[in-house]
Amino acid sequence: MAGAEELSVDGVSVELAGARLVHEVSLAAAAGQVVGLIGPNGSGKSTLLRCVYRVLRPAGGTVRLAGDDLHALTARRAATRVAALTQEHTAEFDFTVAEVVAMGRLPHRRGPGGPSAEDRERCTAALRKVRAEHLAGRGFLNLSGGEKQRVLFARALVQEPRLLVLDEPTNHLDIAHQLEVLALAREAGPTVLTALHDLNLAAGHCDRLYVLAAGRIAAAGPPAEVLRPALLAEVFGVRAAPVRHPETGALQLLFDRLP
């Protein structure tokens, strides 16, 4: 095991349909850290995350959480430790919002029977946190894209994972909910690994960033060190001007096409 990191991805490669999409990627996160994964379209972010949340097995390397090889755990044990908010929202049946959120408690349930009173309380509290309490009785399939995203985030929260994997968690969300979901992910306390397209959100909400380009790590470090104009030009093909927020001093980037 590499050091005392909570999440430790060591030399992970992922292959699909005979093609290597992720090449010996290593990354780490300390307990409670929010770590961002950024990179252009098709750079392998979702593929790497799918390997971390066990939909894909690595062709090489290991993913360890608190020292345990995640791919060696039973599905149930893994589900008590890792929750994922993904881009794949397939629901074949029209469950209510309350039912969808309650599914997050399933890995913790012992024996038969429905959700306990405590489970129900946790679900209501999570829906309140994402400001979706009023949707509890609605059918999930009829929700708007942003409402679905918030409900699935609530489901991930009630799973009470050690590791929360988020693939573009701000997709479909208006600006207020974008800021809120990332703040909630941190407040909730688990270690967070999140893919983000919005580099300003990545700058403002992540302790550390990893840049993926063509399936390989191109840079890693604190946001202010990683989000430099030269790297952004090379990896994303854009001209970036770093500025400081006039009140908070936080790093913000202004973007333009490269001349």
Ligand X SMILES: Nc1ncnc2c1ncn2[C@@H]1O[C@H](COP(=O)(O)OP(=O)(O)OP(=O)(O)O)[C@@H](O)[C@H]1O
Nearest to ligand X of 102, 212 (CB atom): 212
Closest approach, Cβ 86 to ligand X, in A, equals: 11
**Residue 1 CB, nearest distance to ligand X (Å)?**
26
CA 151 to CA 131: how far, in whole Å? 9
CB of 116 to ligand X, least distance (A): 37
Q: Are 212 and 48 in contact (CB under 8 A)?
A: yes
121 vs 234 by CB, closer to ligand X:
234
Neighbours of 74 (CB within 10 A): 8
> Which residue, 33 or 47, has its beta carbon nearer to ligand X?
47
Cβ-contact 70, 54 below 8 angstroms: yes
Measured CA to CA, the distance from residue 97 to residue 129 in angstroms comes to 14
Q: Least distance from C-beta 172 to ligand X, angstroms?
A: 14
Minimum Å gap between C-beta 197 and ligand X is: 6
- Tokens 């994964």 correspond to 37
Q: Is the dihedral of CA 203, 209, 211, 215 positive or negative?
A: negative
Q: How do the residues of the chain divide into helix, strand and coil, expressed in percent and rounded to 5?
A: 35, 30, 35
Tell me the closest approach of the beta carbon of residue 168 to ligand X, in angstroms: 7
Of 50 and 208, nearer to ligand X (C-beta) is 50
According to DSSP, the β-strands at 7-16 and 60-65 are antiparallel
Q: Measured between alpha carbons, how far is 50 from 87 in angstroms, rounded to an integer?
A: 10
| 149 vs 158, beta carbon nearer ligand X | 149
State the residues that interact with ligand X by CB under 6 A: 16-17, 19, 21, 39, 41-47
7-16, strands of its sheet edge to edge: 19-29, 7-16, 60-65, 68-69
Nearest CB to ligand X, comparing residues 17 and 230: 17
